[in-house]
Amino acid sequence: MSTVAPTIGDRSDMGSTTTNETRTLIASDRVEGTSVRRPNGDGIGRIERLMIEKATGQVVYAVMSFGGFLGIGEGYYIIPWSTLRFAPELDAYVLDVSDEQLRAAPPSSAEGNDPSYDRNWEEHVHRYFNATPYWSV
């Protein structure tokens, strides 16, 4: 039995584990919508999208939704990717912050109208979350 590798642009294999998830890799569309929880398992929000640096391919931020009820009053926050860790036992990403800390964090709009292109703003976000800036790694 022979297998043929899909060509670039061929989406026929998008359902396989080689393109969605392996033991060490996960596709971005599988991360989007994943819950974010505290270390004790309490829910905080969910990952709406990932922001990836074009030149290096490094995941830099997660845009996380937080608060509100049924999507009303929900806020969007840029979370440095290095501050999140995946916890298989929770099937969620873990972020150790209080509601108050998150409400005081630099916000982002769902439409992407944020000043993240500004290095001073990025430094502010990384300092706020006590994260090593991705450009320093």
- Domain 26-131: top CATH class: mainly beta
Classify 20 as helix, strand or coil.
helix
Is residue 71 within 8 A of residue 90, CB to CB? The reply is no
Q: pLDDT tens-digit profile of 76-134?
A: 888 999 999 999 999 999 999 988 888 888 766 444 545 556 778 888 889 999 998 88
Global confidence as pTM: 0.74
Would you give the DSSP letter of residue 109? -
> How is the chain split into domains, by residue range?
26-131
